[in-house]
Amino acid sequence: MGDLTGKIAVITGAARGIGQGIAERMSASGAVVVVTDIDIVAATKCAAALPGSAIAIKHDVRDGASSITLATQVIEKYGQVDILVNNAGVGPKPGPVQHTTEEEYDRVMDVNAKGVFLTTKAFVQEMINRKRGCILNISSIVGQSGFGMVLPYVASKFAVTGMTQSLAHELAPYGITVNSIHPGIIRTDLHSAVVKQFAALQGQTEDETWNWFKGRIPLARFQTPADIGEMAVFLASDGAKNITGAAFNVDGGWEMH
């Protein structure tokens, strides 16, 4: 695991699931963690349980003003931000494209894609000024290869992958690295809700659908939030200072490129 001692890490959507796993691993590695989430009660609980120094701040990634307020609060308190993890996301409501509403498309894109843009925009000038920083964007295995019945979600995660590459080019002259992490199947509340809906669409039990997903994983095991946290810690550490614009699959072999 990398050493993040003294680094200030802001993690969006960190109250539970993957974000919480990243917060726990970064805190254990010495980072001061800012747990942000639209659910401030859960965020406060998460921050209090971390092993190191941490605070919780309410943040709605869909709102540019919220991102600016968050960045202002963090920089006023700590004087800098070393690591930004754009993790906040919502899952899809699976269904055929002809039955997918415009409202559903906008719901997913506003959080998963626009949220990355707005939060990054709010923090990046401080990193540019100091000529250092690390941005990690949480995409998905379907952010590299498409998957049927979840078009808005796939679109949002491909967007995250593309934004990562664009930012890596743009920010490299300032010593800022930008990479994406692509989680596989994790038994979080988000994935559980999706599996329940897929099971209904396919006329399967939820256990049958979980087993179908597991059967596609070469290592034949699901991933955990801690697995994603370990990758995030490495990419945020000095050991990864020469890595940027890259996509890292943490998926048991689902994607192999």
Which residues carry out catalysis? 153
Beta-strand relationship, 83-86 and 133-138: parallel
Residue 189 CA from chain centroid, whole number:
15
**Given CA atoms 128, 132, 133, 139 in this order, what sign does their dihedral have?**
positive
Token code pair at residue 137: 């964007």
The total of other beta-carbon atoms located within 10 Å of residue 116's CB is 28
Helices (H), 203-257: 206-215, 225-236
Helices (H), 34-150: 40-49, 64-78, 102-109, 115-130
Backbone angles phi, psi at 9, to 5 degrees: -115, 125
Helix-, strand-, coil-residue percentages of the chain, each rounded to 5: 55, 15, 30
Residue 223, classed as helix, strand or coil, is strand
Residue 171 neighbours by CB under 8 Å, 6+ apart? 124, 127, 128, 133, 135, 177, 178
Angle at 94 between CA 92 and CA 96, to 5 degrees: 130
